[in-house]
Every structure is written in C-alpha cells, then in structure tokens.
Amino acid sequence: MSGVQTVTVTEEDADQRLDRWLKRHFPQLQQGRIEKMCRKGELRVDGGRVRAATRLAAGQQVRIPPLPEPGTKPAAPRPQVTGDDAQMMRDAVIWKDDYIIAINKPPGLPTQGGTGQTRHVDGLAEALRFGFEDKPRLVHRLDKDTSGVLLLARTRAVAAGLTAAIRHRQTQKIYWALVAGVPVPYLGEIRYGLVKAPGHGKGGEGEKMRAIHPAEVDATPGAKRAHTLYATLYRVASRASWVAMEPLTGRTHQLRAHMAEIGHPIVGDGKYGGSGQENLGDGWGAQLGGIISKKLHLHARRMQFRHPVTGKTITVTAPLPEHMAQSWENLGWSEDIAAEDPFEKLR
C-alpha cells in the first residue's frame, strides 16, 4: 500500500467532481471504493469530509488514504510508451533542469486522459524521467488542439510551488493565434464572464463556454469572471490577423470564447467559429480557405515564471507547430518580428 498523500488541486482541475478527479489521477480506483472512502471520512478536502460529487476548487488540499500498490490495482497498468512516442516526447523538450521540464506540446495530443483517450501527455511523460525515479507531474493544461509551452514538475514540492504561482497569477503566459478579421482597437482587453453551456449530444456532450456581459456575471448561476489582454500584431487587409493574447484568468476555452465573442474567432476553431463557415473577407468565419490549414491556430508561445527553487526568472519560448509555421510563411510573416511582450503598455 502507498502512504497517505496530499495533492493540491490545480487551477486547470478546478470545478471538477472529486470522483472524476480521482479517477483521472488514480485510475486504479473504482467508483465504489471512492464512495466508501468518502463515507468513512478517509478522503478529505481541506480537512473536511466530502461526497464523491463534491466539486473541487483550485488550491484545495485533497487528502488521499493509502492506496493499493500499482501491481495490485485492477485497472489498466502503467501506460506503455512506444519507441516512437518516447522519441517524440523527448524531442518536444525545450527546457529542463533538475526540477522542471518544459515541452512544446504538439497539437492534437491531449494533456490528460479522458473518455476514449489513452494517448496523452500525462501518460507519455513516462518517457521524460531522464534517470529520475518519479514521472514528471503536470501542473497546468492545454487544450488538445492547442500547442505550445507546457510545464511538468519533477518533484511533488516543485509541483506545489508552480501550481501556487499559477493560482496567484505570478506567471505570465502569452499565446499567439491567427484570427478572422482585425480586432479594433489593436491593443485591448476582454472582460466577458464565462459559463458552461451543455452541448446537444447525449448527456450534454459538446459543451462549450458562453460569454456573459461583465455586468451580468454575478447574477448568472455558474458564471465566472474572465480577463484577457490582446494585441493585434500584423494583419492581412481586413481578412485575418496575427494576435497575441495573455489570459489573466484561467477559464476553460477562455481565449477561444473571448475572441469569438468580439467577432474574431481563432482560425480552425469549429466549436466557437463555425466548423464549415469560411471567411470570405468580411471578418467572420473560422476557416480562411485556400492554402491555410483548417487546424486550430492557437499556440502557447511564451511562459515566464519564478523558479520555485532557485528564485530565478525563467522564460520559455516554443516555436510554432508545423501547420501554423506554414500559415505564417504563406502570409509573409516570421516568428522573429513580434515583440516579446506586446502588453508592456498595459502593465
């Protein structure tokens, strides 16, 4: 049996049910076992008793009692990483030391497992031990089709430190995107709140975030405030723009929902910009057509944070994925012409 564990809930894991969070992090646990641990008070959040359906908040401490060793769990064993996947993960490393690993997450690769997802960064991180006993731990997430900087901690203490820094907004993340039309003003803020809206599939599958006017957030059940800075860097007439974005909050699909709400969906974003709606030059539609890829054009370009051990300021930059680099070339842009921090005037 393992010993008692205390795990800090990350900003990205917030608002999840306890049982679903446990199954994601401890796949050996069955629903019946989780409910029994709740009834007996063995599972606790911030020292208090909980139910399986309790929703977690960022920063909460989940106390987990001793669990069966991996060799005795009835669920699937530790993911087996193929040679090709192991090489892919190692090639994705763009910065590392004895405490932290930063990768350039490829588009199309989920950060964590879910229904029907067996190949994801969390599992493939087995290939990133580099001689360490423990597998690196995720401290934040990126959407499946979003590429770019993703941090993993090599120790539990470092994971807690990075998670706290993200929660207290002590990190800076800058994303690049290709969007439909030209956002005006060129430098601005988006403050629409966001609330989950169920999808039309069975059981509400396909849910998305709905934007709420800032004045109506407090009166809208489930709505959370969200704040995004954006800067229009370059444009192609009135048809499309290269935009930098900095999320000052960490809501689900925040950048995608915010850009769509102001009339400039991210290119390739079928969920928020219309999967079959081609941009004919009027500034709307998530598909530019022609030789521009239909994949999502959203990339976590840069992340800056204070190292939790050395105290140094670390800046990690991720090159564009292949489809975005090709779009940039087709539009006559290059990565080196953008300012490192286009939001300096807003600080």
| Structural domain contains residue 76 | no
pLDDT in the model for residue 133: 86
pLDDT in the model for residue 275: 60
| Structural domain contains residue 57 | yes
Residues 6 or more apart whose CB falls under 8 angstroms from that of 190 comprise: 226, 227, 228, 230, 258, 259, 261, 262
| Residue that is last in its domain, among 113, 138, 168 | 168
Q: Which residues are catalytic?
A: 143
Is 321 in the same domain as 181?
A: yes
Is 194 in the same domain as 101?
A: no
Query: In the predicted model, is pLDDT for residue 76 greater than 60?
Result: no
Is 180 in the same domain as 195?
A: yes
Alpha helix (H) residue ranges in 103-242: 121-124, 156-167
Read off the pLDDT of each residue in 277-297 and give the average, rounded to a whole number.
71
Is 138 in the same domain as 101?
A: yes
Is 179 in the same domain as 115?
A: no
Is 97 in the same domain as 196?
A: no
| Residue that is last in its domain, among 148, 168, 188 | 168
* CATH label of the domain that carries residue 30: 3.10.290.10
User: Is-contact 42 22, C-beta < 8 A?
Assistant: no
User: Is-contact 27 120, C-beta < 8 A?
Assistant: no
| Structural domain contains residue 77 | no
Is 235 in the same domain as 322?
A: yes
Place of tokens 């219309």: 274
Is 148 in the same domain as 185?
A: no
pLDDT digits (tens, 9 = 90+) for 117-176: 788 999 999 999 999 988 999 999 999 999 999 999 999 899 999 999 998 889 999 999
Is 340 in the same domain as 191?
A: yes
Q: How does residue 75 score in pLDDT terms, banded at 50, 70 and 90?
A: very low
Averaged pLDDT of the chain: 88
pLDDT digits (tens, 9 = 90+) for 81-111: 899 999 999 999 999 999 999 999 999 999 9
pLDDT in the model for residue 222: 93
| Structural domain contains residue 301 | yes
- Of the two residues 3 and 300, the one the predictor is more confident about is 300
Tokens describing residue 301: 């370009």
| Structural domain contains residue 75 | no
| Residue that is last in its domain, among 19, 37, 69 | 69
Distance (Å, whole) CA 70 – CA 68 = 6
Q: Is 177 helix (H, G, I), strand (E, B) or coil?
A: strand
pLDDT in the model for residue 281: 53
Q: How many domains does the chain divide into?
A: 3
User: Is-contact 62 43, C-beta < 8 A?
Assistant: yes
- Of the two residues 216 and 118, the one the predictor is more confident about is 216
Query: In the predicted model, is pLDDT for residue 205 greater than 80?
Result: no
Distance (Å, whole) CA 57 – CA 326 = 40
What sign for the dihedral angle of Cα 249, 250, 255, 261?
negative
- In order of 12, 13, 26, 156, 171, the CA distances from 161 in angstroms are 15, 16, 22, 9, 12
Helices and strands, counts by H and E, the chain: 8, 16
Query: In the predicted model, is pLDDT for residue 71 greater than 60?
Result: no
| Structural domain contains residue 254 | yes
pLDDT digits (tens, 9 = 90+) for 314-337: 999 999 999 999 999 999 999 999
pLDDT in the model for residue 73: 45
pLDDT digits (tens, 9 = 90+) for 226-237: 999 999 999 998
Is 149 in the same domain as 245?
A: no
Query: In the predicted model, is pLDDT for residue 1 greater than 70?
Result: no
pLDDT in the model for residue 117: 75
Question: Which domain covers residue 47, as residue numbers?
Answer: 5-69
Distance (Å, whole) CA 53 – CA 60 = 15
| Structural domain contains residue 78 | no
Is 116 in the same domain as 90?
A: yes
Beta strands in the chain (DSSP E): 5-8, 44-45, 48-49, 61-64, 93-96, 100-105, 137-138, 147-153, 172-180, 187-190, 193-197, 208-212, 228-236, 240-247, 298-306, 313-317
Tokens describing residue 291: 């030789």
Query: In the predicted model, is pLDDT for residue 240 greater than 70?
Result: yes
Query: In the predicted model, is pLDDT for residue 277 greater than 70?
Result: no
Tokens describing residue 137: 């731990």
| Structural domain contains residue 88 | yes
* CATH label of the domain that carries residue 150: 3.30.2350.10
Is 51 in the same domain as 97?
A: no
pLDDT in the model for residue 309: 96
Read off the pLDDT of each residue in 63-75 and give the average, rounded to a whole number.
66
pLDDT digits (tens, 9 = 90+) for 248-264: 999 999 999 999 999 99
User: Is-contact 45 56, C-beta < 8 A?
Assistant: yes
